[in-house]
A and B are shown apart, each in its own frame.
Chain A
Amino acid sequence: MATQGAERYVGGGVRRKEDPKLITGQGTFVEAITPPGTVWAVLVRSPFGHATIRRVNLKPVLGAPGVVAAYSGADLADEWAAPLPMAWPVTEDINIPEHWPLTRDKARYLGDAVAVVVATSRAAAADAAELVEVDYDQLPAVVDVQAASVEKAPLIHDAFGTNKCYIWAISQGDVDAAFAGADVVVKERYRQQRLVPNAIEPRCVVVQSVAAAGEFTMWSTTQIPHIAKITLALTMGIPETKLRVIAPDVGGGFGSKLNVYAEEALCLALARRLGRPVKWVEERSEAYHSTIHGRDVIQEIELAASSDGKLRGVRVRLLANMGAYLQLVTPGVPLLGALLYHGCYGAEAYSLECTGVFTNTTPTDAYRGAGRPESNYAIERAIERLAREVGSDVVTIRRRNFLPKGELVPSPAGLQFDSVDYEKVLDRALEMIGYDDVRKEQEARRDGGDTRLLGIGLSCYVEMCGLAPSQVLGSLRYAAGGWDAASVRMLPTGKVEVVTGTSPHGQGHETSWSQIAADALGVDFEDVTVLHGDTAVAPLGMDTYGSRSLAVGGVAVHFACGRVIEKAKRLAAHLLEVSPDDLVFEAGSFSVKGVPAKAKTIQELAYAAWTAHSLPEGEEPSLEATYVYDPPNFTFPFGSHICVVEVDTETGKVDIVRYVAVDDCGTVINPTIVEGQVHGGIAQGIAQALYEQAVYDDDGNLLTSSMMDYLVPSAVEMPWFELDRTVTPSPTNPMGVKGIGEAGTIAATPAVINAVVDALWHLGVKTMDMPASPENVWNAIRRAKGGN
């Protein structure tokens, strides 16, 4: 590759290009789009967790004011060429239920859609939906993953004769021998409670068709316009060439918009039937049922160790709640953490078995971190339990077990971890928190009988980003590849368009990708425009999730710029009548070695490539290039977080008094954006640890079904974060980048809970369920004291 330009922008916290429109109300979120003639769709959803549908009567609706149409599941049955997509059949014998946009036989969770009403206004559609008569026969429901696993549990999908979806297992080394020969075995059981993602923008879909041409344009609040396009083309029987998907400004995702939803298929079907633009807007209380949930896994983790705390084996069993159906990657979410339950530590043997189970609940799927917050929580809690069993300090035991420093280090589960240097981040975090001093204060408070005890919680993490080498995804039975694409176009005026296959929804790709391209090409940051989120504009891509965008899509931008420079160099050599080897490229200009005045700027070359008046023999006009990058390995960011909590033993209230985070995501393109990602990630991890929990009753009613009774934290609940980072570049890609979108969430949850347990351990509190609400903490203290 040609030498790329010097760094003027990469590494600087330049102001985001996204902001001017967003701070002035000029963003284009999907709900702002209403083509002329739009009709509004409202869904009728089951009020029962489990019920047979005997009859859907739409007659009362059809004459109501403004009503255009109303359909049951049976009415729309011939609209679908295939069920809604599920892209990750994790085992050969997995049970995959047919999942239709409107259910026809049974409602399998509260919120399962039964009918759709279309009217000329939002209000008319909502009014008319109230008139739909559905006769249900309520069935016994099962919402708990363990209860659903036993024989005689109510069956969610009768055809399978079981609620088991799949059993997936992996084993490395001789696990039985490691446990048989261990001095100490620690066995822990944790519950990853169910979470509701709550992106502040609810979902919204608008579909406009050109009936005569059979063409459809769908605007959707999605993280994955490309994946939505291909999968919905298959569901709808629409040729892929006739479906355009646009994700304009998208108001947060966190995995909840990494999906293909019933409402997208329904709006396409309605637009096809009615020949009019169709719009559906999710209400927040509806979203609590109709958008995927996260987590809901029971974890059993066993550590085998020698008496000095050296880890020998890790054995894990998971029971993962799928919910009532499989959404896009539901079965695969636990697998994203399945190779990481040993954390940053070495072990000679490793095994994991995951059982997926159907229940009468909203389907689960990827939520920020997807599998990795779960794995890191389990190992980071268990390692502290082991420390206490063997009488070690929680810092010492980690140091004893860290994987050795190295560019490429084999992991116990069979991966190749890159850029390993775990001591460094732990040292820095301990220094920032003033570890010895905090321990002294903790002791002083205990000794003084203070009712506000201090607890110190550590969390050292390593995670997997850069999803993913396509071959690895294939071996895990995922239905697509893990590459991403970028096109870089030098326009005749010298401006640059970067087309990316990633689809940002808050991450600031327009800014970061501009920094990468501006430095590589030696042009001004302001001269670069990044295009994304529209399959007609950016046809190649695999979208944004799993902290993959920079480590795959950003690297593709880097390589595409390299190709542009190669071509520009050939053109410069031709125009300057020298050999390409005689040219140096610096600050956007090719000059002849030793004759700096003899030069062509990349802008001049772009113009020359466009006029094409004089090109080298066989060279095509235009200065642009595309690069599709398939990463050779995952990237493995790591870090150490330390949380100090104050627990009021009389009320059970937990306050975070300090939170220190030291992360290593390799090379940083924009430190301001990286810090923002870490802040937001930590906030969601703290939220799981202390505040959030989706609760169903035994009949399948979601008791936490609005922002009134599900605690999405406000600024009051969040502490000040103290951040630092180390930079250990990834050897996997030439930029040395790794990914940062989920690190905070992966790290924070065990840091907080470890701190709570640490505060109360001497009182006899040996474990803590999430969320560590005042009630849970107060009860744990009372139980430990032998009270009721």
Chain B
Amino acid sequence: MNITLTVNGVQHEADVEPRTLLVYFLREQLGLTGTNVGCDTSSCGACTVLVDGESVKSCNLLAAQCHEREVTTIEGLATPGELHPVQRAFTEHHGLQCGYCTPGMIMAVVSYLRENPAPTGDEVRHALEGNLCRCTGYQNIVEAVLAAADDLRDAPASAS
């Protein structure tokens, strides 16, 4: 079936099998391999992307469901020459080790901080319950999110 959607600001028209999951459409048809797959039960959140600005597990959504919608992946987050504050905070606070869960984690955080711009540490932990990391023990991820929240509040116009 034919779908039309915008991914990272670029409009695509594509022919997809009805059963194609959004994540495989992004990875295999558009070549956007930054979004990873970590499970098959929508448990791990490695595949999180934004659909119309909301975080969504892209292994749990058909490409066809994104017809006429706007998708943002990790590749579309930074502006040329400038990282998104959440990306910057993850590297500044060592919020990643192997980096496999990181794209999904970052996208989930971008969406969450729009909903709750001034979270507490415990709120961040609950917000990220659907994003699993096996490397970091989460502490530095939570620190990164709190730092990114500060950064975004200080300069809300630079990225949102």
Q: Which residues of B contact A505 (CB under 8 A)?
A: 98
The reply on A285 being an interface residue by CB < 8 A is yes
Q: Are B134 and A254 in contact (CB under 8 A)?
A: yes
CA distance A19 to B102 in the complex (A): 10
Q: Are B32 and A25 in contact (CB under 8 A)?
A: yes
CB-CB contacts below 8 Å: B21-59 with A: 24, 27-28, 32-41, 43-44, 46
Main secondary structure of the interface of A (DSSP, over half): loop
The reply on B137 being an interface residue by CB < 8 A is yes
Q: Looking at the complex, which one of B35, B92, B102 makes contact with A22 (CB distance below 8 Å)?
A: B102
Q: A25-B103, A252-B135 are in contact. Are A284 and B38 (CB under 8 A)?
A: yes
Q: Which residue of B lies closest to A721 (CB)?
A: B139
The reply on B120 being an interface residue by CB < 8 A is no
CA distance A26 to B74 in the complex (A): 9
Q: Are A714 and B128 in contact (CB under 8 A)?
A: yes
Query: Which stretch from B60-68, B83-91, B152-160 is at the chain A interface?
Result: B83-91
Q: Are B33 and A712 in contact (CB under 8 A)?
A: no
Q: Looking at the complex, which one of B28, B38, B40, B78 makes contact with A201 (CB distance below 8 Å)?
A: B38
How many Å from the CB of B46 to the closest CB on chain A?
6
Q: Are B100 and A251 in contact (CB under 8 A)?
A: yes
How many Å from the CB of B19 to the closest CB on chain A?
7
Q: Which residue of B lies closest to A21 (CB)?
A: B99
Q: Which of B43, B98, B139, B140 has the most CB of A within 10 A?
A: B98
Q: Are A714 and B90 in contact (CB under 8 A)?
A: no
In the complex, how many residue pairs between chain A and chain B have their CB atoms under 8 Å apart?
182
Q: Which residues of A contact B37 (CB under 8 A)?
A: 31, 202
Q: Are B33 and A285 in contact (CB under 8 A)?
A: no
Q: Which residues of A contact B39 (CB under 8 A)?
A: 202, 284-285, 706-707
Q: Are B138 and A718 in contact (CB under 8 A)?
A: yes
Encoded as 1 (CB less than 8 Å from any B CB) or 0, chain A from 120 to 143 comes to 001100000000000000000000
CA distance A250 to B134 in the complex (A): 13
Q: Looking at the complex, which one of B24, B38, B96 makes contact with A122 (CB distance below 8 Å)?
A: B24
Q: A254-B134, A679-B136, A715-B125 are in contact. Are A25 and B33 (CB under 8 A)?
A: yes
Q: Which residue of B lies closest to A204 (CB)?
A: B37
How many Å from the CB of B139 to the closest CB on chain A?
5
Q: Which residues of B contact A672 (CB under 8 A)?
A: 94
Q: Which residue of A lies closest to B59 (CB)?
A: A284
The reply on B15 being an interface residue by CB < 8 A is no
Q: Looking at the complex, which one of B44, B73, B92 makes contact with A25 (CB distance below 8 Å)?
A: B73
The reply on A788 being an interface residue by CB < 8 A is no
The reply on A388 being an interface residue by CB < 8 A is no
Q: Which residue of B lies closest to A673 (CB)?
A: B94
Q: Looking at the complex, which one of A283, A508, A673 makes contact with B40 (CB distance below 8 Å)?
A: A283
Q: Are B33 and A680 in contact (CB under 8 A)?
A: no
How many Å from the CB of B45 to the closest CB on chain A?
9
The reply on A759 being an interface residue by CB < 8 A is no
8 additional contacts (CB under 8 A) given A23-B99, A31-B36, A676-B140: A23-B87, A200-B36, A249-B99, A682-B137, A683-B136, A707-B41, A714-B128, A714-B131
Which 6 A-B pairs have CB atoms at the shortest separation, nearest pair first?
A25-B34, A251-B100, A22-B99, A506-B98, A683-B137, A679-B137
